[in-house]
Amino acid sequence: MSILQQLVFVLILGAAGYILSKRIHFLRRNILLGKSESRNDQPESRWKTMTLVAFGQKKMFARPIPAFLHLLIYVGFLVINLEVLEFVLDGILGTHRLFAPALGGLYTIAINMFEFLAVAVLVSCVAFLIRRNVMKVERFTKPELKGWPALDANLILVIEIILMFAILTMNATDQILANRGDEHYLALGTLFFSSMLMPIFEGMSDGALVFIERFAWWFHIVGILAFAIYVTYSKHLHIFLAFPNTWYSNLKPKGEMVNMPEVTNEVNMMLGIPVDNPNEPPAEIGRFGAKDVNDLSWINVLNAYSCTECGRCTSECPANITGKKLSPRKIMMDVRDRAEEVGKSLDSGGAGFADGKSLLGDYITKEEINACTSCNACVEACPVNIDPLNIILQLRRYVAMEESGTPAQWNAMFQNMETSFSPWKFSPSDRFNWAEKLKEEEMR
């Protein structure tokens, strides 16, 4: 590799690093638009959850076939990227297969393993394309996936297929040149999968082979750098965010709803229940519930950016199954889209949250959140422990406590619970009358 090529490579690497760092800063700022929340308790449980759910993909295997295919892509992504280190060093130093002389036969074994994983990734991506576009699996045909989300999913699969072919093409032409005695190329022994492509290139001249090999090398490494940037704009950001997202999982029982601490303390004081710092005046509540992204916690926004758009939550949602408009996946996509919109507005000197829009109303409707049964099926189904229900409950709290906008039937139920301690309008003293009737029937 010439000095000019090394310089070009370093410039490309630097440009990619700069763009990526800018995008990471943008994403971090957007996530932190949410309110502060601490979830660093129980570190041992959090490490265990992250290891099993994010790294071990435990929840994916509720559906074995897509889980196995996804596992092949996941392992391939992790292992093949080890070879990218050699690509980067070769590009900077102007070398070719830098690690080959030092590793000897182990290098050939490693390249064969990389090729096996490349083929596995390729086959898995083809299978996923068929599932989405030929079999049309129902959860991939929902309204929220129309347009860019569907294109994004297909585009990333096609890109991965092309990148895997680039690796195999590079290795095939590389070995033909080595077999012809070109001093710049090392004979690596048998490379099982790329050797199947060698007959395609055997009749070409050395110059053509060098061009194809170098083109495949440049295409792969530049493609990897472009892919790293593209991922930050894609649903595939979960490749990286799944790990912190599972670390900050809610470890409380799934049926436990989160109350506002300020309201809880005030109620406890009214009931004479001891509270921390009783002499301090009650904290001023800016807003009950959530209307926009900045009313949610930063963990809620992290959840949104971690969403894989797989639709497992929506496919398990009883409201969605029965034809309601609620889709937990759409809830998460809407939170992310609103955070993106506000972030771009802030970067351009715009109005930010004062743009006349809000998450509730402009993105998510009352009809959607009112359809939720609070069953936690979406939370249980999510492969990376995203919690759409927490967001839905905060939006409903805003509607109920700030707008008094809940349906009339709900208000009657709330009133009954306040006065009769149950959803039904009868005296608490009559609550166990049904049991007395049972005793009378048993005595007969």
pLDDT digits (tens, 9 = 90+) for 222-248: 999 999 999 999 999 999 999 999 999
- Do 324 and 218 lie in one domain? The reply is no
Residue 442 has pLDDT above 90, yes or no: no
Q: How confident is the model at residue 444 (pLDDT cuts 50, 70, 90)?
A: low
- Do 322 and 395 lie in one domain? The reply is yes
- Which two three-digit tokens encode residue 323? 């034809």
Cα–Cα dist 227/224, whole Å: 5
Orientation angle between helical segments 298-306 and 3-31, nearest 10 degrees: 130
Determine the pLDDT at residue 282: 57
Q: What is the mean pLDDT of the chain?
A: 90
Q: How confident is the model at residue 255 (pLDDT cuts 50, 70, 90)?
A: confident
- CB-based burial of residue 325 (10 Å sphere; 0-12 exposed, 13-18 middle, 19+ buried)? middle
DSSP 8-state code for residue 94: T
- Do 73 and 17 lie in one domain? The reply is yes
- Do 73 and 198 lie in one domain? The reply is yes
- Do 312 and 354 lie in one domain? The reply is yes
Q: What is the pTM of this model?
A: 0.88
Does residue 44 form part of some domain? Answer: no
Residue 440 has pLDDT above 60, yes or no: yes
**% pLDDT > 90, the chain:** 68
For 125, the domain range is 3-31+63-235
Does residue 443 form part of some domain? Answer: no
Does residue 327 form part of some domain? Answer: yes
Determine the pLDDT at residue 267: 75
- Do 212 and 358 lie in one domain? The reply is no
Determine the pLDDT at residue 270: 73
What mean pLDDT comes out for the span 347-370? 95
**% pLDDT > 70, the chain:** 97
Q: What are 262-316's pLDDT values in tens digits?
A: 777 777 777 778 777 666 665 566 788 999 999 999 999 999 999 999 999 999 9
Q: Considering its fold, how many domains does the chain have in total?
A: 2
Reported for 389-393, long-range contacts at CB under 8 A and 24+ positions apart, including other chains, are 389/328, 390/250, 390/258, 390/300, 391/290, 391/296, 391/300, 391/303, 391/331, 391/332, 391/335, 392/328, 392/331, 393/257, 393/258
Q: Which residue has the higher pLDDT, 49 or 428?
A: 49
Determine the pLDDT at residue 280: 64
Does residue 80 form part of some domain? Answer: yes
Residue 437 has pLDDT above 90, yes or no: no
Determine the pLDDT at residue 182: 80
Does residue 50 form part of some domain? Answer: no
